[in-house]
C-alpha cells in the first residue's frame, strides 16, 4: 500500500488500537494533522498546552495500562512536552509521543522552530528516534509501540521531519517484531525463586514491600494471593496505592517519608524484605545505611539495573512480576504455615494502635484530611483519584480508601506540579463511567489551568478539588520545620477567584468553608456532570504527618509538630 | 564507598544514528567516568564496537554495565578482563632536540617513525595502556610538541 508519511502515522495508530490521541498542531506537524482531520479511526483531543497533551496521554495510560499517545509540533511544541516525557519516564508509563521536526534539508541550520529534539528527549525517554527516510517510518512506529509497552514500560519519542510526513512510500506494517538487541527477561530464574521462598519460610519478621511494578505488570491479584497464603504483612509505596486494598488488615499503609508509623517500623525491624517492583526511592528509604538494617532482601524487578542500584540484594530475581509471583504463589499454595508470623503481625498491629494515621479536627476550619476522607466515604471505589504534587498529594495517598490498582494516578518519581488536571482528563476519557477527581492545591492547579478549556470543550467532567491553604504548602511545611519559618516565596495569598475562573471557561465553581457546603458542592458537581472546581478553604498551617525528615531514618519519625513560637 | 577499580568494557551496539550520544550521555548524565573511549564499525556487520575504559566502585561498575545493557541498541557488554588491551600513541618531536637513544626507546615500545619533515618527526607506538603512560614520560626528554593518545582497544583472549 502506497501512503504518504502522515497517512502512515494514522494507519500505524489504528493498527496499534489507539482510540484517542492528545495533541496540539503546528507548522512542522501540519501534514499529520491534515490526515487526522480526514480520518475517523481515533479521536483527537486538542489540549491548550503541549505539556497537558502528554500528561493527559499519561493519565490515560495509567488508567488503562495501554500505550498513551500524544502529538506535538517541533521546537517549542516539543520542548513544552519535555516535562510530560520526564514525568512518564520516571514512573515507567508506556507512551508514544510523536513530534514534528523541520524538513531534513533544514536540520542543522537553526531553522524556524528547529531544536535538537532527540538530543533533549534522550535522557527522559526509554528510547527515541529521528526518522530519516520514509522507508524506515513504518518500522520505527512499530518499534516505538513495542518498546513502550514491553519490558519495563516507558515513553518513546518519534521525531518526524516535515518532508518525511509528505513523502510517499510503501506501507508495510509488521505484525510482530523482535529486536536483536532488546530482549527483556520475563521469566524469573526458578532456582532463585526457590531460594527466595526458602528464605521466606525461615524468616520470622518478613515484610512485603510493594512497588509500582505490581501495577505496571497487572499482578495485584497475584500479590494479594501471595500475601493471603503466607500471612505476610505488606506496605505500599506511593505508586502501589490500591494494590492491596485499604480494608485488608495485613496492609500497614504507605511507607516512606509520609508513611504510616507501623509501615516504617515494619521496614526497620523486618528480618526479610520481599521487594516486589519498587525502586528504593530516597523518599521511601530515608537514610540508606539505616534502611532495613536487619533484613535480608529479596528484590524482584524486570529491569536488572533497578536491582542492586542502591543496596546489596541477597536474592535478586530479574523477571516479570506476573510470572515470578505466579511461581511464588505455586510454591506456597500447599504446606505453608502462616501462623509462624503471628507475633510479628501482632507487634505491627500494636504499633498501629499506638500511632495510627490521624489528624485533629477543628471546629473553626476545615481540615484537608477530612476533605479527602469525605470524598472517600461518598465516592469510594466509584472515583478515580488523580493528584498534583504537594501536601494534598500526600494527604490523598494517606487518607483516601484506595480499593484497587490504577485507582490512584499521581506523579510519583518526578513530582510534577500541573500533572493532576490533564491526567484526570486522560483518566476520565479512559474510564468515562467513573467519577474523575483531581485533588490539587492552590499552587499546582495554576500550572495547567488552561486545561479548563480542553475539558469544557470536550465535555470531560473532571472535578478539581482545591485544598486551598493560600500557601505552596509542602515547601511552607519544610520552611516551618527546617528554615525557622522564613517563608520565602511560598505565600500564595494573591489568588484568582477560582469560581469565576471556572465559570469564565464554561465550567462550574464552588467556594466552600464548611463540611455542609463541601457535601453540597460535591453532590451538585456530580449531579451536573460538568467540569467543576471546588475551592475548599482549609486550615492554612496544617502539616503532613507523620514525617521522616529528609536524610532521616524510617524508625525515627516526626509524629507531631508542636508550634513553640 | 568502596575502592575504585579500573575496567575495560567492550560494548557491541547497533551501528545507528546517535548511538554515540546515547552512550556518552549515559556516562555524563549519571556522573560516571570515561577514561578513554574508542569506537569503530565491526567489519561486515551492522554493529559497532565501543571500547570504554572507566573507573568506579564495584557498585558503580555494575550499574554502568547494566545501564549500557539497558540501551535499546546495545547487543552485549563484554566485561571479561582477560583481554589483550592495546593503545596507540602519536608524538611529534622537533628535530632540533638531541635524538640520541630514540631508536632504543622506540624499539622497546613497538614504536616507529611514522612521518618526518624538515623540522619534526612523528613517532607512533602501540603498547599496553600502562606502558604507553611510561612511554609518554620517557619521551619527555625529546621535548614533544604534541601528544595524541588513541584510547584503548581490547579483545578477549579466548
Task: Find the CATH number of the domain harbouring A137.
Answer: 3.40.50.970
Question: From its phi and psi, is residue A355 left (phi > 0), alpha (psi between -120 and 50) or beta?
Answer: beta
**Residue A257 domain-assigned?**
yes
Q: For the sheet containing A508-512, what is the strand order?
A: A408-409, A383-387, A435-441, A463-468, A532-537, A508-512
Q: What is the per-residue DSSP string for A355-388?
A: S-S-----SSSB-HHHHHHHHHHHHGGGEEEEE-
pLDDT (0 to 100) of residue B1: 53
Q: What is the per-residue DSSP string for A431-449?
A: -TTSEEEEEEETTGGGGST
Query: Three-state SS across A189-247?
Result: CHHHHHHHHHHHHHCCCEEEEECHHHHHCCCHHHHHHHHHHHCCCEEECHHHCCCCCCC
3-class DSSP state of A306:
helix
3-class DSSP state of B82:
coil
Angle between helices A391-399 and A368-379 (to 10 degrees): 40
The grid coordinates of residue A270 equal 523486618
pLDDT tens track for A323-335: 999 999 999 998 8
Sign of dihedral through CA atoms A366, A370, A371, A374? negative
How many angstroms from the chain centroid is the CA of residue B47? 19
CB atoms within 10 A of CB A516: 9
3-class DSSP state of A416:
coil
Alpha-carbon gap, residue A468 to B144, rounded angstroms = 70
Contact A15, A3 (CB under 8 A): no
Alpha-carbon gap, residue A527 to A298, rounded angstroms = 48
Same structural domain, A233 and A343: yes
**Burial status of residue A180 (CB atoms within 10 A of its CB: 0-12, 13-18, 19 or more):** exposed
Contact B29 A130 (CB under 8 A): no
User: φ, ψ for residue A514 (rounded to 5)?
Assistant: -130, 165
Alpha-carbon gap, residue A391 to A401, rounded angstroms = 17
CATH topology for the B5-81 domain? Alpha-Beta Plaits (3.30.70)
- Domain boundaries B84-156, corresponding CATH code: 3.30.70.1150
Same structural domain, A486 and A459: yes
Query: Which residues of chain A register pLDDT less than 70?
Result: 565
Contacts of B18 in chain A (CB under 8 A): 118-119, 122, 130
Same structural domain, A131 and A250: no
pLDDT (0 to 100) of residue B158: 87
Alpha-carbon gap, residue A237 to B127, rounded angstroms = 53
pTM given for the model: 0.96
Question: From its phi and psi, is residue B21 left (phi > 0), alpha (psi between -120 and 50) or beta?
Answer: alpha
Contacts of B59 in chain A (CB under 8 A): 308
**Residue A359 domain-assigned?**
no
Assess B101–A contact: CB distance below 8 Å, yes or no: no
Residue in the block written with cell 554493529 = B47
The grid coordinates of residue A94 equal 508506556
Which positions ≥6 away from A95 have C-beta within 8 Å?
A: A54, A57, A58, A61, A67, A68, A69, A70, A85, A88, A148, A154, A155, A156
Which positions ≥6 away from A60 have C-beta within 8 Å?
A: A20, A22, A66, A68, A426, A427, A429, A430
Tell me how close the Cα of A308 comes to any Cα of chain B, in angstroms: 8
Alpha-carbon gap, residue A559 to A484, rounded angstroms = 19
Euclidean distance between the first and the last CA atom of chain B, given in angstroms as a whole number: 33
Contact A304 B69 (CB under 8 A): yes
Contact B149, B134 (CB under 8 A): no
ipTM value, please give it. 0.92
Alpha-carbon gap, residue A86 to A92, rounded angstroms = 10
pLDDT tens track for B39-79: 999 999 999 999 999 999 999 999 999 999 999 999 999 99
Domain that holds residue A225: 190-354
User: Which of A128, A150, A181 has the most B C-beta neighbours within 10 Å, making it the best mutation to test the interface with B?
Assistant: A181
DSSP E strands: which ranges in chain B?
Answer: 5-14, 36-41, 47-56, 74-78, 83-94, 111-116, 120-127, 146-156
Same structural domain, A482 and A341: no
**Residue A560 domain-assigned?**
no
Give the number of domains in chain A: 3
Residues of A with catalytic function:
50, 112-113, 162, 474
Q: A150-162 burial string, b = 16+ CB within 10 Å, else e?
A: bbbbbbbbbbbbb
What radius of gyration do chain B's Cα atoms show?
Answer: 18
Contacts of A150 in chain B (CB under 8 A): none
Q: What is the CATH number of the domain that holds A215?
A: 3.40.50.1220
Same structural domain, A417 and A525: yes
**Residue A166 domain-assigned?**
yes
CB atoms within 10 A of CB B104: 8
Residue of chain B whose alpha carbon sits nearest to that of A183: B72
Contacts of A304 in chain B (CB under 8 A): 66, 69-70
Same structural domain, A162 and A14: yes
Same structural domain, A48 and A153: yes
DSSP state of A314: S
> Domain segments of chain B: what residues?
5-81, 84-156
Q: A432-448 burial string, b = 16+ CB within 10 Å, else e?
A: eebbbbbbbbbbbbbbb
Alpha helices in B39-110 (DSSP H): 58-70, 102-108
**Residue A10 domain-assigned?**
yes
pLDDT (0 to 100) of residue A334: 85
**Residue A507 domain-assigned?**
yes
Contact A181 B72 (CB under 8 A): yes
Same structural domain, A147 and A263: no
Contacts of B25 in chain A (CB under 8 A): 122-123
pLDDT tens track for B93-120: 999 999 999 999 999 999 999 999 999 9
Contact A305 B29 (CB under 8 A): no
Alpha-carbon gap, residue A449 to A501, rounded angstroms = 9
Alpha-carbon gap, residue A35 to A18, rounded angstroms = 15
**Residue A26 domain-assigned?**
yes
Same structural domain, A395 and A340: no
Please give the helix or strand (H or E) that residue A89 lies within, else none.
helix A76-90
Same structural domain, A337 and A443: no
Alpha-carbon gap, residue A137 to A123, rounded angstroms = 22
Same structural domain, A95 and A152: yes
Alpha-carbon gap, residue A428 to A384, rounded angstroms = 8
Q: How many CB pairs under 8 A join A and B?
A: 38
Alpha-carbon gap, residue A443 to A446, rounded angstroms = 6
**Residue A258 domain-assigned?**
yes
Contact A438, A421 (CB under 8 A): yes
Contacts of A179 in chain B (CB under 8 A): 72
Alpha-carbon gap, residue A57 to A423, rounded angstroms = 7
Same structural domain, A406 and A459: yes
Contact A122 B18 (CB under 8 A): yes
∠ at Cα A248 (A247, A249), nearest 5°? 110
Going from the C-alpha of A149 to that of each of A16, A96, A143, A431, the distances in angstroms are 11, 9, 10, 20
Contact B14 A309 (CB under 8 A): no
Alpha-carbon gap, residue A82 to A28, rounded angstroms = 17
Contact A495, A445 (CB under 8 A): no
Contact A308 B59 (CB under 8 A): yes
User: φ, ψ for residue B121 (rounded to 5)?
Assistant: -120, 145
User: φ, ψ for residue A258 (rounded to 5)?
Assistant: -120, 30
The grid coordinates of residue A472 equal 505552596
User: Which of B58, B68, B70 has the most A C-beta neighbours within 10 Å, making it the best mutation to test the interface with A?
Assistant: B70
pLDDT (0 to 100) of residue B81: 86
Contact A132 B17 (CB under 8 A): yes
Amino acid at each position: 500500500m502506497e501512503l504518504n508519511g502522515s497517512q502512515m502515522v494514522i494507519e500505524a495508530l489504528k493498527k496499534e488500537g489507539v482510540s484517542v490521541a492528545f495533541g496540539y498542531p503546528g507548522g512542522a506537524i501540519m501534514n499529520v494533522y491534515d490526515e487526522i482531520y480526514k480520518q475517523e479511526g481515533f479521536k483527537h483531543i486538542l489540549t491548550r498546552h503541549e505539556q497537558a497533551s502528554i500528561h493527559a496521554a499519561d493519565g490515560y495510560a495509567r488508567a488503562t495500562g495501554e500505550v498513551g499517545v500524544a502529538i506535538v509540533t517541533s521546537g517549542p511544541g516539543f520542548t513544552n512536552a519535555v516535562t510530560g516525557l520526564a514525568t512518564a519516564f520516571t514512573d515507567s508509563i508506556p507512551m508514544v509521543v510523536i513530534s514534528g521536526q523541520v524538513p531534513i534539508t533544514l536540520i542543522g541550520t537553526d531553522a524556524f522552530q528547529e531544536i535538537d529534539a532527540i538530543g533533549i528527549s534522550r535522557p527522559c525517554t526509554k528510547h527515541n528516534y529521528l526518522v530519516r527516510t520514509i522507508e524506515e517510518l513504518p518500522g520505527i512506529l512499530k518499534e516505538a509501540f513495542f518498546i513502550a509497552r514491553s519490558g519495563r514500560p516507558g515513553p518513546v519519542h518519534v521525531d518526524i521531519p516535515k518532508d518525511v510526513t509528505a513523502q510517499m512510500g510503501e506501507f508495510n506494517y509488521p505484525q510482530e517484531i523482535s529486536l536483536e538487541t532488546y530482549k527483556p527477561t520475563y521469566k524469573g530464574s526458578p532456582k532463585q525463586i526457590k531460594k527466595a521462598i526458602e528464605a521466606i519460610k525461615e524468616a520470622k519478621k518478613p515484610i512485603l514491600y510493594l512497588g509500582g511494578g505490581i501495577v505496571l505488570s497487572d499482578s495485584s491479584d497475584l500479590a494479594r494471593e501471595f500475601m493471603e497464603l503466607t500471612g505476610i504483612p505488606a506496605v505500599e509505596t506511593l505508586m502501589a496505592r490500591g494494590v492491596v486494598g485499604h480494608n485488608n488488615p495485613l496492609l500497614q499503609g504507605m511507607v516512606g517519608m509520609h508513611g504510616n508509623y507501623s509501615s516504617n517500623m515494619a521496614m526497620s525491624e523486618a528480618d526479610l524484605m520481599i521487594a516486589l517492583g519498587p525502586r528504593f526511592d530516597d523518599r521511601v528509604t530515608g537514610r540508606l545505611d539505616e534502611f532495613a538494617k536487619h533484613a535480608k532482601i529479596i528484590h524482584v524487578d524486570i529491569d536488572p539495573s533497578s536491582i542492586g542500584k542502591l543496596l546489596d540484594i541477597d536474592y535478586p530475581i530479574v523477571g516479570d512480576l506476573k510470572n515470578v509471583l505466579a511461581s511464588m504463589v505455586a510454591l506456597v499454595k500447599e504446606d505453608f504455615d502462616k501462623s509462624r508470623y503471628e507475633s510479628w503481625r501482632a507487634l505491627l498491629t500494636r504499633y498501629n494502635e499506638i500511632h495510627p494515621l490521624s489528624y485533629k479536627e477543628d471546629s473553626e476550619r476545615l481540615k484537608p484530611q477530612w476533605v479527602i476522607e469525605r470524598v472517600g466515604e461518598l465516592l469510594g471505589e466509584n472515583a478515580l483519584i488523580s493528584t498534583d504534587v504537594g501536601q494534598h498529594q500526600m494527604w490523598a495517598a494517606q487518607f483516601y480508601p484506595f480499593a484497587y490498582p490504577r485507582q490512584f494516578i499521581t506523579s510519583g518519581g518526578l513530582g510534577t506540579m500541573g500533572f493532576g488536571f490533564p491526567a484526570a482528563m486522560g483518566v476520565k476519557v479512559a474510564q468515562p463511567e467513573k467519577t474523575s477527581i483531581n485533588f490539587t492545591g492552590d499552587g499546582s492547579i495554576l500550572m495547567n489551568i488552561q486545561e479548563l478549556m480542553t475539558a469544557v470543550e470536550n465535555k470531560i467532567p473532571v472535578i478539581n478539588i482545591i485544598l486551598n491553604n493560600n500557601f505552596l504548602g509542602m515547601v511552607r511545611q519544610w520552611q516551618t520545620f527546617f528554615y525557622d519559618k522564613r517563608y520565602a516565596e511560598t505565600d500564595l495569598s494573591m489568588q484568582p477567584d477560582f469560581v469565576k475562573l471556572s465559570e469564565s471557561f464554561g465550567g462550574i465553581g464552588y467556594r466552600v468553608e464548611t463540611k455542609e457546603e463541601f457535601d453540597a458542592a460535591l453532590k451538585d458537581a456530580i449531579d451536573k456532570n460538568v467540569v467543576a472546581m471546588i475551592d475548599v478553604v482549609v486550615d492554612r498551617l496544617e502539616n503532613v504527618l507523620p514525617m521522616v525528615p529528609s536524610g532521616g531514618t524510617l524508625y525515627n519519625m516526626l509524629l507531631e509538630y508542636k508550634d513553640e513560637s | 564507598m568502596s575502592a575504585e577499580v579500573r575496567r575495560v568494557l567492550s560494548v557491541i551496539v547497533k551501528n545507528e544514528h546517535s548511538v554515540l550520544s546515547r552512550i556518552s550521555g549515559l556516562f555524563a548524565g549519571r556522573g560516571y567516568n570515561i577514561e578513554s573511549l574508542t569506537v569503530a564499525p565491526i567489519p561486515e556487520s551492522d554493529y559497532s564496537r565501543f571500547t570504554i575504559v572507566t573507573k568506579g566502585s564495584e557498585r558503580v561498575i555494575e550499574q554502568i554495565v547494566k545501564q549500557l545493557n539497558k540501551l535499546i541498541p546495545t547487543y552485549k557488554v563484554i566485561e571479561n578482563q582477560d583481554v589483550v588491551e592495546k593503545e596507540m600513541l602519536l608524538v611529534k618531536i622537533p628535530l632540533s632536540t638531541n635524538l640520541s637513544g630514540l631508536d632504543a626507546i622506540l624499539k622497546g615500545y613497538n614504536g616507529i617513525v611514522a612521518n618526518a619533515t624538515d623540522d619534526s618527526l612523528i613517532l607512533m607506538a602501540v603498547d599496553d595502556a600502562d606502558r604507553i603512560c611510561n612511554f609518554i614520560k620517557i619521551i619527555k626528554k625529546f621535548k614533544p610538541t604534541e601528544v595524541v593518545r588513541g584510547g584503548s582497544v581490547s579483545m578477549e583472549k579466548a
